[in-house]
Amino acid sequence: MILFREFNEEEKIDRIWYQSSMIVYSECYDKPDTPLKDVTVVFKNGSSYLYKDINVNDYVSFVHRGLDGSNGKALNKFIKPNCSEYQRLEDVDMAELQRKLEEKQKAMKKSESGD
């Protein structure tokens, strides 16, 4: 389930925080001149992977948990088998990622209340 989603129009990055047993966060990078996307996924243990050349339909299925209702199962069904390559990235500081989520949620609440 999506906790918070933000699309940065300038950078063309879709950032999503999840409530999931496996996955905490993902970033999807639009690629110029192609419908394919690169997707970074951060797991609860802080490990992070970049999956390259993902079809937009596979990305949408992953984000919306596929037919199984699980982002982890959707990752294994739609992203992992359909990427051109993947690589392990540096582990993520989970406290920092949580702090960013809280900041964005506060900012959204503030803008919704008109403050």
- Asked if residue 114 has pLDDT above 80, the reply is no
Residue 108 CA to residue 55 CA, distance in Å, equals 30
- Asked if residue 66 has pLDDT above 70, the reply is no
> Lowest-confidence range among 22-36, 79-93, 96-110?
96-110
42 — phi, psi (to 5°)? -110, 130
Residue 30 CA to residue 32 CA, distance in Å, equals 7
Read off the pLDDT band of 113 (50, 70, 90): confident
- If you search the block for the tokens 């797991």, which residue do you land on? 43
Residue 20 CA to residue 31 CA, distance in Å, equals 27
Closest residue by Cα to residue 76 from 61, 89, 90: 61
Mean pLDDT, residues 90-108 taken together: 91
38 — phi, psi (to 5°)? -105, 140
Residues 8-59: pLDDT tens digits? 999 999 999 999 999 999 999 998 888 899 999 999 999 999 999 999 999 9
The distance of Cα 11 from the centroid of its chain, to the nearest Å, equals 15
